[in-house]
């Protein structure tokens, strides 16, 4: 049987041997939810970059850019980090360069994995099916917040581990913690997350609509996969 493991914060990535594993990067609020939404709405490719400078360089090359820092759109770029911004039909067929506080950084730090895919509640079922077919050991990398553990990504890791329970054994106790978090709160995730830090931050910016959308399950069948050139494409 294959294993599933959970890396609770990007700070712990160096402790994981990712070379022969599928990494699922998750930043429920909101980076990976935006990536799923963008590709589901016809964006052709997403180039995740770690810094604002790299995003600006891609903007100079003519790419559309999405840049977020501390929950807000970074000055001078085309898009912020709201999933609703990626539903614009004008973005269909385009390539977007994207940088966010935690989500894109986690993708960049996981780049030595055998395969990187992107998850969120929006594609939970499709992702579980993809991982079952792939049949390799899985590590869920929670983007967290500035190297700290966060509630929403841990909750999602638990939801995914629960979906895969018949086919993947737990690699260690972080999976147990994530599963327990999910089992106790699956009936009302928003109620649980209402006590969490990024929830409060986004609510402070008037972004409850974004939170509600990102917590919806199985809205899309799209699974973003990082290709050999470093772009996320739909699978």
What are the structure tokens assigned to 34, written together? 């935006």
5, 54, 68, 137: which one binds ligand MLT (CB under 6 A): 68
Q: Phi-psi bin for 168: left (phi > 0), alpha (psi -120 to 50), beta?
A: beta
Pick between residue 100 and residue 110 the one whose CB is nearest to ligand MLT.
100
Does 152 sit near ligand MLT (CB under 6 A)? no
37, 58, 65, 81: which one binds ligand MLT (CB under 6 A): 81
Does 65 sit near ligand MLT (CB under 6 A)? no
Do 84 and 133 form a contact (C-beta atoms < 8 A)? no
Shortest Å, Cβ 81 to ligand MLT: 3
CA dist 75 → 46, 54, 213 (Å): 20, 14, 25
d(CA 159, CA 21): 19
The mark string for 22-41 relative to ligand MLT (x by CB under 6 A, - otherwise) is -----x-xxx----------
Does 215 sit near ligand MLT (CB under 6 A)? no
**Residue given tokens 């739909």 in the structure block:** 234
Shortest Å, Cβ 99 to ligand MLT: 9
Within 10 A of 154 (CB to CB), how many other CB atoms are there?
26
Shortest Å, Cβ 60 to ligand MLT: 23
d(CA 78, CA 68): 11
The mark string for 166-205 relative to ligand MLT (x by CB under 6 A, - otherwise) is ----------------------------------------
Shortest Å, Cβ 135 to ligand MLT: 29
Do 202 and 211 form a contact (C-beta atoms < 8 A)? yes
Does 6 sit near ligand MLT (CB under 6 A)? no
Pick between residue 32 and residue 174 the one whose CB is nearest to ligand MLT.
32
Do 31 and 127 form a contact (C-beta atoms < 8 A)? no
* C-beta pairs of 130-133 under 8 Å, 24+ apart in sequence: 130/223, 130/235, 131/22, 131/24, 131/160, 131/164, 131/168, 132/164, 132/167
The mark string for 97-126 relative to ligand MLT (x by CB under 6 A, - otherwise) is ---xxxx-----------------------
Shortest Å, Cβ 106 to ligand MLT: 8
What are the structure tokens assigned to 118, written together? 């992107």
Pick between residue 62 and residue 204 the one whose CB is nearest to ligand MLT.
204
Which residues lie near ligand MLT (CB under 6 A)? Answer: 27, 29-31, 68, 71, 81, 100-103, 143
């Amino acid at each position: 049987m294959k294993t599933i493991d959970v890396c609770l914060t990007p700070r712990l990535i160096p402790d994981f041997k990712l070379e022969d594993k599928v990494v699922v990067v998750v930043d429920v609020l909101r980076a990976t939810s935006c990536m799923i939404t963008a590709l589901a709405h016809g964006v052709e490719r997403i180039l995740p970059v770690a810094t604002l400078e790299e995003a600006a360089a891609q903007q100079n090359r003519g790419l559309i850019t999405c840049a977020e820092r501390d929950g807000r759109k970074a000055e001078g770029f085309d898009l912020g980090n709201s999933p609703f911004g990626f539903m614009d039909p004008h973005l269909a067929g385009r390539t977007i360069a994207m940088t966010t506080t935690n989500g894109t950084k986690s993708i960049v730090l996981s780049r030595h994995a055998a395969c990187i895919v992107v998850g969120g509640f929006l594609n939970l079922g499709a992702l579980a099916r993809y991982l079952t077919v792939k049949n390799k050991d899985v590590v869920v990398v929670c983007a967290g917040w500035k190297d700290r553990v966060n509630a929403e990504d841990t909750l999602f890791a638990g939801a995914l581990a629960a979906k895969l329970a018949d086919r993947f054994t737990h690699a260690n106790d972080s999976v147990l913690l994530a599963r327990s978090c999910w089992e106790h709160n699956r009936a009302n995730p928003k109620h649980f997350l209402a006590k969490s830090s990024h929830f409060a931050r986004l609510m402070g910016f008037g972004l409850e609509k974004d939170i509600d959308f990102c917590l919806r399950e199985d809205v899309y069948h799209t699974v973003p996969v990082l290709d050999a050139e470093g772009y996320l494409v739909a699978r």
